[in-house]
């Protein structure tokens, strides 16, 4: 019985090491906000265009001093597109929608925000605050495209919870979903190993 338990422990250890090695190549980004830090892991193997786009904005400093401008508890927190005075941030060309990559809009995953045009994502992203299966890809149709998940929160889930619980109201172009007190993304950096 003890040998069997030891073998299970050893097998579990090696599985954990393999998982860490498999994820070691995935880029990570640190979001430093006025509510605390969030670390997200990106999936270039599943969403190469979205990850490259996001990292370009990160490494250019384009997200620095922007805000989480839209917060809906039990749904998502959205950022990257506006300065604290609601001046819209400059964007690059829109990217193709990669929502058909098999990743789901589960709680704490990170996805590209977009307009009604499926291929309109630029700089805005959101962190799911719930399992939002209605945002998942179902077909290449206007109603089925979904929102492309390209990463997940691996540290700072409590910070996401804090942000999702702030009081909201009118702010800039948002009639009710803007945090009453600005939540500033002070800086975003790619974590180099």
- CATH no. for residue 161? 2.40.100.10
* Residue 126 falls inside a structural domain: yes
Read off the DSSP letter of residue 93. Answer: -
What residues contact residue 13 under an 8 Å CB cut-off, 6+ apart? Answer: none
Q: Flag residues of the chain having pLDDT under 70.
A: 1-24
Whether 5 maps to a domain, the answer reads no
Give the β-pairing of 66-72 and 109-112: unpaired
Q: DSSP label at 192?
A: P
Q: Alpha-carbon distance 67 to 173, whole Å?
A: 14
127 lies in which domain range?
26-191
Q: What is residue 143's predicted lDDT score, i.e. its pLDDT?
A: 87
**Is residue 153 situated within a structural domain?**
yes
Which residue do the tokens 């929608």 mark? Answer: 97
Q: How far is CA 171 from the centre of its chain?
A: 22
For the stretch 38-67, pLDDT in tens is: 999 999 999 999 999 999 999 999 999 999
Number of domains in the chain: 1
Tokens representing residue 83 in the block? 């300065």
In a domain, 143, yes or no: yes
Q: Is residue 12 part of a domain?
A: no
Q: Are 84 and 186 in contact (CB under 8 A)?
A: no
- Please state the pTM of the whole predicted model: 0.86
Give the 3-state secondary structure of residue 130.
Answer: coil
pLDDT, residue 172, reads 80
């Amino acid at each position: 019985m003890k040998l069997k338990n030891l073998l299970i422990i050893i097998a579990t250890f090696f599985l954990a090491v393999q998982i860490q090695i498999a994820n070691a190549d995935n880029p990570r980004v640190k979001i430093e906000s006025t509510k605390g830090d969030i670390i997200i892991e990106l999936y270039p193997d599943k969403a190469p265009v979205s990850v490259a786009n996001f990292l370009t904005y990160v490494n250019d400093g384009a997200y620095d001093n922007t805000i989480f401008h839209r917060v809906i508890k039990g749904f998502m927190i959205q950022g990257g597109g506006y300065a604290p005075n609601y001046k819209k941030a400059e964007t690059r060309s829109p990217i193709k929608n990669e929502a058909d990559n098999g990743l789901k809009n589960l709680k704490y995953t990170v996805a590209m925000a977009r307009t009604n045009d499926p291929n309109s994502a630029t700089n805005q992203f959101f962190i799911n605050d719930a399992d939002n299966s209605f945002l998942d890809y179902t077909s290449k149709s206007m109603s089925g495209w979904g929102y492309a998940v390209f990463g997940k929160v691996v540290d700072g889930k409590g910070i996401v919870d804090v942000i999702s619980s702030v009081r909201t109201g009118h702010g800039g172009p948002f009639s009710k979903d803007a945090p009453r007190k600005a939540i500033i993304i002070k800086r975003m950096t790619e974590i180099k190993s």
